[in-house]
Amino acid sequence: MAIGRERFWSLVEQTRVDLRATALAMPTDELIGYARWQQHFVVGLLDRRSIKAAGALCLQGSPEHDDGPFGAFAEWLVQQGEAVVEAAARDPDTIAECAWGTAPARGDDGRFLYELAASRGVDLTDPSIEPILDSLDWPEDRPESAAELASPPLVYRVFPRLAARLEMEFLRTTMPRAAWQREAQERNRWWGLAWDALESNELACEIPRFWRLVEMIGWPKPREIAPFETYGMPERVRFALRYHERFAMLERAVAARESTHGPLVTRDRDERIAGVIACGRTPYEAALANPELVRTSRAELGFGRFVDELRRAPKDMLLALLPTHLSERAHELAVGEIVIDYDRGWGFVAASSPSAPPDHVVYFDGAVPIKPPMARKPYSAKQAFAVGDLLAHPKFGDGEVIAKPTLGKILVRFADGEERVLVGPR
């Protein structure tokens, strides 16, 4: 090999200023060695799930996709130097300390080196070129998949500095119930369970998007907001989750100030804090740094109530967002899972005590015991069926006999919700 490891990293320091100019000046042997060493470290980085997860966060992509964008990310990482690569291999969260703008570069340095070598009559993919056999003395990678590492709840625990730098904070405060929600929940606890199920499936929108939406709302004269119309209730919930997180942060700052300097706000406290948020990111961050600004803010009141109304939705809209299982599968599910019954609507799998297995389903109008699983009979026109029997039809799938309308006929409700009359024995 024309160059060793130390020489490679020495060249990296030179190429950080201008890789192309430095590479053009390299002798061919040194160029080949440089390219092979670069590939050696890039491949080593791409083999690490934690590095791919960090790349997915930086590039706002999915670690499940092909290695194309992550190859460019790994090349960029190598160009940061030996200390950065070694630190990232041990803790990818240190990438947050690198110097980059809005996102790491997506360079094509590798392609340039291959093209430059080809112009000198060298094919860097030629297997006869001596490979790099130097071992990478890196610790064992994390056991989770790249997709798991790049998703909550792991992402904030594994990459706290990177997530903070990318403004990808995740929700740390629960979202309080709006007044109308509390009233509905008092009438029937089902509403509270439904909202819990919806909100637990949603993450707060990212901070830059939240502030863009605040600007688009234009309080106190709110306009129609396309994202809320396009993405519907989930987008409203995501916005509200982030709003209540921002509210809680400013409320804590105000309370800390009041503990030493006395009351800042005596009237419309909550709405004044909400009004600061409605003014946008710059006034909000200024108030976080100096809570006295909440006292002098001339923000229009009512923004908090507006956000609560954004979360309001007809029952059918709410229900359409929840995960579903047929009620006949209730015996297979865990406590808290949501099922749908064609006669009773939506319900939650429940147990008689914390240590008991699921034994009933709570529907809007009452609780129904979970039936033990029944054997499913293969459908045949010669087979006798009783109401309540489960059958398997070769064309229509699984179904349940719900009636026997006439002699020799059975009415069957299938898993797709359709009811069909089938022939039975006379």
- What local confidence, expressed as pLDDT, does residue 18 receive? 75
**What DSSP designation does 332 have?**
G
Please tell me the predicted confidence (pLDDT) of residue 88.
92
The confidence score (pLDDT) of residue 170 equals 47
pLDDT in tens, 122-150: 887 777 776 676 778 888 888 777 877 77
Q: Is 394 helix (H, G, I), strand (E, B) or coil?
A: coil
Closest alpha carbon to 240 in 203, 275, 266: 203
* Topology classification of domain 376-423: Thrombin, subunit H (2.40.10)
Which pLDDT score is estimated for 66? 45
Pairing of strands 397-403, 366-369: unpaired
What's the pLDDT score for residue 337? Answer: 75
Alpha carbon distance 394, 404 (integer Å): 20
pLDDT in tens, 363-417: 766 778 887 777 788 998 888 888 888 888 988 888 889 998 888 889 998 877 7
pLDDT of residue 230: 64
pLDDT at 226: 66
Kindly report the pTM of this predicted structure. Answer: 0.42
- DSSP conformation letters of 41-81: HHHHHHT-HHHHHHHHHHHT--TTS-SHHHHHHHHHHHTT-
Strands 366-369 and 390-393 turn out to be unpaired
What confidence score (pLDDT) does residue 179 get? 67
- Residue 231 pLDDT: 64
Domain locations in the chain as residue ranges: 5-165, 179-316, 323-369, 376-423
**pLDDT under 70: residue ranges of the chain:** 1-2, 60-69, 100-110, 130-131, 133, 152-154, 156, 167-204, 222-227, 229-233, 311-326, 342-346, 364-365, 426
The whole-number pLDDT of residue 364 equals 60
